[in-house]
Amino acid sequence: MHWVEAIVLGVIQGATEFIPISSSGHLVIARDVFGFAAEGGLAFDAILHFATALAVIVYFRREWKEICVATVRYFTHKEHTAQGRVGLAVIFGTIPAAVVGVLYADLFESLFRTTASVAIMLIIGSLALIGAEYFLRRTSEPKNITPKRGAIVGLFQVIALLPGISRSGITMAGGMFAGFDRVTATRFSFLLSLPVVLGAGVLGFFKMGAVDAQMGISIVLGGISAFAVGLLAIHGLISFVKDHSFSVFIYYRIILAALLLAIF
């Protein structure tokens, strides 16, 4: 893989991992449209996911520290705090995707890793966001993050194993269905992404095996670009959803899906 291709894929991963338009889907599309080398494949993509997981750690570093301390104190001292409940929600929300991912992730990736299937999943994910926005407008009082609601969002995260659905998009939709306001759903989606995306990145390292110097450089440059753009995407989206709905992303997904189905 040429280093330029790696940087482009890293930028795509960093931007689309957190914006609800599907990072895995856009990586598939980029390879088909631009004819990028398939070298590294799923393992390289997983390492890009690892870089964006680091972006979540860095951006929410203070919040993660509070969550970890509060969660530990919940188990050791039975202290019930808001951050402790967030920690439990992340744990409960991670379990469904972790179990299904370990058992069936390769199957889902191999069966649905085509541009046409990505287009269909983009439409399905758009319908979920439309439903979530409709539900949110009829929610009288936004709910706080709890372990039970975290588990509900975790069930939505399982669907994100299908390229094109968008992990961030489907978990944001799940958060709104669970009763969160748009900002809370977005922030929780980012927090919930860490265990799954970090796990995928670790597995990617094992799948890579031996790499030559050129591939090593590509991995480093792709990871750096994914990390840097990921930080910008997190900050930008949190600011955006304070005053805007997800409509612009829904329109983008539907238009992109229509173009892909027409072309491919």
In sequence order, the 6+-apart residues with CB closer than 8 A to the CB of 30 are 8, 9, 12, 36
The DSSP string of 49-106 is: HHHHHHHHHHHTHHHHHHHHHHHHHHHHH----HHHHHHHHHHHHHHHHHHHHHHHHH
Identify whether the C-beta of residue 147 lies closer than 8 Å to the C-beta of residue 85. yes
Q: Tell which residue, 143, 165, 161, has the closest CA to residue 22.
A: 165
Please identify which residue in the block is written with the tokens 């080398």. Answer: 37
User: Model-level pTM?
Assistant: 0.90
Among candidate residues 4, 29, 232, 203, the one with its CA nearest the CA of residue 115 = 29
CA distance 137 to 151: 22
List the chain pLDDT tens, one digit each, 264 residues.
778 899 999 999 999 989 999 887 888 888 888 887 666 666 677 788 889 999 999 999 999 999 999 999 999 998 999 999 999 999 999 999 989 988 886 676 666 667 888 899 999 999 999 999 999 999 878 999 999 999 999 999 999 888 889 999 999 999 999 999 999 999 999 999 999 888 877 777 776 666 677 778 888 899 999 999 999 999 999 999 999 999 999 999 999 999 989 987
Q: Which two tokens stand for residue 60?
A: 């929410």
